Chains A and B, each alone.
Chain A
Amino acid sequence: MTTLNDPRQPGPRSAGRHDPQRQDLAVLTRANHDMRSPLSVILGVFDLLEDTGSLTDNEHRYLKLGMRAADELLMLADALRLYSALERNLVTLDPIPVDLAEMVKEQLESVFSHKGTNLDLSVTPPGDTRALGDAGYLPVALTHLLRHLAAHLPETPASRSPAITLCRRDEGGHVRVQVARGEPGPKPDTGNLDGGEPPVMDELGVLIGIRLIEMMGGSVIIGSQPSLTITLPAAGASPPA
């Protein structure tokens, strides 16, 4: 079972004790809450406009831009809520056997679908890629991490589009899946991607993705090529402590 406990419930605290970090997290949680009501209105307006059926092509295009921006804000609200809950140890995971390669493929297709990018999603070598992951939160973690990768991948010809470049079950009882540009050579390292101040959503997403994967007993390597390598305990291996 996947449990996200209510992050608004205050934990035990001493009378008069001031905990700036807890207060910061409570503000994040309220920010998530307070973003949702106006978002409801914005999305409602968009729906009503679309329903009129009398929009010009240009107006329709503007509407779609607005809808996409609203979706981004909704993702940010979701990320704020989840980050706050993670920081307050209010998320409980239940790793079960999942096919990591298949899940990466699904999220990869979803994240890159709007870019019209051709993806090479063949898994080589084929094999048992079942790992232990939380069925609810693993897709969330993968989406955040792959969105980060997408944001840092330069527009490339199809032959260099993102691909699963490595997928294997190692002797240490782990399944590893690497996503990188579809060309040979990108060597993962442990460095972070460079290039200025990242957007809040990107930064939050990476923190959330790494934290969730680590809670499942796995690890994340973000390479500077760029590439992304996700490792999880293989199904059948000892569950994370």
Chain B
Amino acid sequence: MSQALVLLVDDDDSSLDMLERRLRRAGYAVLTAVDGEEAVAEAADKLPDIVLMDKRLPRLDGYTAVRALRGNSRTREIPVICLTADATPEDEQAAIEAGCQHFMAKPVEFAVLLAVMESLLGAAASGG
């Protein structure tokens, strides 16, 4: 799926830059945000097709930001993948409970990330 709009949220400049480059290279348009508040605002304003959300973020943590997205009728249906360096089953459970569709531990395997994104975007496009 080319030119789907991805909102990439991470407070680590290097991680953000690297993943943004790889996503653009894979054919996606990419928006970025560096904290939870900015992510919620950007999502409501630009309505991305999918959000890649870090867990540990300043101002508003990733899970709280996802809950805010779910609480807004404009952003409620946007699929969210949680990307985090906290790689425990409890983190995964917390991410799903917050409203993320998928959870991936850093460092992610990029091919797997793309496959998950394609699947979620396909499901969203078909209303699933």
Contact = CB atoms under 8 A, between A and B. Distances in A.
A69 interface: no
Given A47-B110, A74-B107, A40 B88 contact: no
A48 B25 contact: yes
A69 to B, nearest CB: 14
A51 B25 contact: yes
A5 interface: yes
B88 A36 contact: no
A232 B90 CA distance: 28
Given A6-B91, A43-B107, A74-B107, A37 B25 contact: no
Given A3-B89, A6-B88, A81-B87, A40 B108 contact: yes
A8 interface: yes
A80 to B, nearest CB: 12
Nearest to B91: A6
Interface in A24-74: 32-34, 36-41, 43-45, 47-48, 51, 74
A36 B18 contact: no
Contacts, number: 61
Nearest to B54: A37
A37 B54 CA distance: 11
B21 interface: yes
A119 B109 CA distance: 30
B14 interface: yes
Interface in B8-36: 12, 14-15, 18-19, 21-22, 25
A74 B87 CA distance: 12
Given A41-B14, A44-B22, A36 B107 contact: yes
B96 to A, nearest CB: 14
A182 interface: no
B27 to A, nearest CB: 13
A8 B88 CA distance: 10
Contacts of B87: 36, 81
B110 A44 contact: yes
Nearest to B13: A41
A226 interface: no
Nearest to A74: B107
Contacts of A8: 86, 88
Contacts of A41: 14-15, 18
19 contacts: A4-B89, A6-B91, A8-B86, A8-B88, A9-B90, A32-B85, A37-B85, A37-B106, A38-B14, A40-B85, A40-B108, A41-B18, A43-B107, A44-B19, A44-B21, A44-B22, A47-B110, A48-B25, A81-B88
A-B complex: 6 closest residue pairs judged by Cβ atoms: A36-B85, A44-B18, A40-B107, A6-B90, A41-B14, A36-B106
Given A5-B88, A36-B106, A41-B14, 20 more contacts: A4-B88, A5-B89, A6-B86, A8-B88, A9-B90, A34-B85, A36-B85, A36-B105, A37-B12, A38-B14, A39-B107, A40-B106, A41-B18, A43-B107, A44-B18, A44-B22, A44-B110, A47-B22, A48-B22, A81-B87
Interface of B: 12, 14-15, 18-19, 21-22, 25, 85-91, 105-108, 110
Interface of A: 3-9, 32-34, 36-41, 43-45, 47-48, 51, 74, 81, 85
